[in-house]
Structure 1
Amino acid sequence: MYPPVDPIIFELGPFALRWYGLLMITAIFVAALIASRRLERQGEDAEKFWDMLIWVLVPGFIGARLYYVFVQSPRTAEGIGYYLANPLKILQIWGGGIHIFGAFIFGGLALWLYTRVRRLPLLKYLDAIALPLPLAQAIGRWGNFINQELYGPPTDLPWGLSIDPIHRIGPYRDLAAYPASTRFHPLFLYESLWNLLGFVVLLGLSRRFAKQLKAGDLALMYGIWYPLGRFFIEFLRTDSWFFPGTPFNMVHVLSAIAVIGGALGLYWRHRSPRSPSV
């Protein structure tokens, strides 16, 4: 049995330091450090990367939160109605409730705009971010464990996660059908391990094939690896809106597009040139 962890580390007056926020900050710093050093080794000014962070992170968090509120939350206890009635709650991301695909969309647009205005190599920056991004995600996912979120249906597996009734959603709040001893799939753990493995794979490929890889290849590889794992994990989600009568949701669609697009992109960039006709 997993004992619950207090999400608040300590409080000082109206301010509180939460595990979720601390893990997010740690994940961002570790990833940024790795990314900046990669750019530095490639002859880029690492200071420009650190200057870029704030311009990308803020839109990224906004996008991640908006995606959660308007796409993900209908299956949660709050729901869209709760946020529309309490709009200030939309800003309170420290309690959990963000979605990576929203961050990809808003953060990606912000990165493209920033590199274009500052005349920086977009593909190099994408590779530098893509390499440590799985590691950052692996770290950040443990915030879901502390907040008792991102879990799947009941399971008898030995690593099943215990969820307090107050943090359950949907029918799982019925203690007659799902008593307090019920265990759930720890989806946060599945994704954390998949991301950790992805970081190892990307790091190994970036070193083993350093001379063969083109700028942007690592970003494409990440665009294949992460969505591939997420596609299958989504089948176990209990807090997503699924297309009526199907086991698929919007993340399945976005993941499939990313995997297919990334694979085609890599193939196109590295296809062998045709031999000249005789």
Structure 2
Amino acid sequence: MNGLNAAVLATIPSPDRGVWYLGPLPIRAYALCIIAGIIVAIWWGERRWVERGGIKGEVTDIAVWAVPFGLVGGRLYHVITDNQKYFGPGKNPLAALEIWNGGLGIWGAIALGAVGAWIGCRRKGIPLPAMADALAPGIVVAQAIGRLGNYFNQELYGGDTTLPWGLEIYRRVTPEGREDALAGVAIDHTPIQVVHPTFLYELLWNLGVALLIVWADRKFRLGHGRVFALYVAGYTAGRFWIELMRTDEATLVFGQRVNVFVSALVFFGAIAYFVVARSRGGREDVAAVRTAHPTDGEPVEPGETPSREAEAVEEDAEKDKKNSSESVKPE
């Protein structure tokens, strides 16, 4: 115990709770962090999309499809890979729906979120790889913000440590006296454990990945999905070693956490795509590769039905031409 008390002198305290109440309404830190991350990703993605030749507001239109798909995909992946938390003797299967208590698998979120983004891009006539490149830095920063939710939930940490940045874990209890790390409140600030803050390691790694891909994008004018591939490769490289440090319950494959293998597989897939896509050249001209779309939102091939923007430009040009010819008509 003396060693524990000495370590506490230079450690990171945890919040005493992760949920506050406004009357009967629970305000959950995890949910707020997820929402804040989504807002940042959309805002930054919008700016980058316009800089690359896109139209303002299109990222928000795509997010209407991508965000719900991503949330569902993230939850599905978590429930599938951590099914022992929800199914079996003494478990409550309905808890699998309680997304507000944490549990979003990034692999499922990206995979199904990409499906939603593809649907949105197809309806708008936007090339998905170009949109993915614009969104990539914002997505990884959103993941960093989301990790703060794990901090409030006292979850996703590693083994015991005496390092000065060790994280204090408190015993939390509900008003009924039941221990609950998510919904409870710390009865005092005496830590029951001091651990590696692996959520913090991942947060800092993600911010570093964001800086890397922004730098690489500006220097090499990456396109055709290569910025997104670099983000995936950078993120999975960090997730691999961070996953090895975590001690929370997880599904094991060959004695290792399943996400260790997933990280490695996705990393090599991202690197392969990054190399292969190099043959497509530098950054694409978004305006040039955009397919036109009629008023119902369904895309068509270039040269068929022009987009509303193109029709408006053509109409204005015809009016200007008509007015010009009338102004020079002899009396």
1:21 to 28, 31, 53: 31
Task: Please report how far the alpha carbon of residue 140 of structure 1 lies from its aligned counterpart in structure 2 after TM superposition.
Answer: 1.2
Matched residue type, 2:202: E
Structure 2 equivalent of residue 185 of structure 1: 196
1:194 to 205, 219, 222: 205
Matched residue type, 1:27: G
2:117 to 111, 116, 129: 111
SS in 2 for 1:16: strand
Q: Establish whether residue 264 from structure 1 lines up as the match of residue 275 from structure 2.
A: no
C-alpha separation in 2, matches of 1:266 and 1:159:
36
Structure 2 equivalent of residue 148 of structure 1: 154
Q: Which runs of 5+ in 2 are unaligned?
A: 1-7, 172-178, 182-189, 282-331
C-alpha separation in 2, matches of 1:67 and 1:215:
27
Structure 2 equivalent of residue 251 of structure 1: 259
- TM-score, scaled relative to structure 2: 0.70
1:241 to 244, 251, 256: 251
Q: Establish whether residue 81 from structure 1 lines up as the match of residue 88 from structure 2.
A: yes
Change (3 A) 1:163 1:117: same
Change (3 A) 1:104 1:201: same
Judging by fraction of residues, say which structure has more helix: 1
C-alpha separation in 1, matches of 2:90 and 2:72:
15
Q: Establish whether residue 52 from structure 1 lines up as the match of residue 59 from structure 2.
A: no
Give the stretch that moved more between structures: 254-263 or 30-39: 254-263
Instruction: Say if 1:69 and 1:83, in contact at 8 Å, map to a contact too.
Output: no
Structure number with greater Rg is 2
Structure 1 equivalent of residue 73 of structure 2: 63
Runs of 4+ in 1 over 4 A off after TM superposition: 165-168
SS in 1 for 2:82: helix
Aligned residue runs from structure 1 range 88-127, under 5 A: 89-127=95-133
Task: Please report how far the alpha carbon of residue 4 of structure 1 lies from its aligned counterpart in structure 2 after TM superposition.
Answer: 2.8
Structure 1 equivalent of residue 53 of structure 2: 43
Task: Please report how far the alpha carbon of residue 96 of structure 1 lies from its aligned counterpart in structure 2 after TM superposition.
Answer: 1.2
Task: Please report how far the alpha carbon of residue 118 of structure 1 lies from its aligned counterpart in structure 2 after TM superposition.
Answer: 3.0
Instruction: Say if 2:61 and 2:120, in contact at 8 Å, map to a contact too.
Output: no
Structure 2 equivalent of residue 214 of structure 1: 223
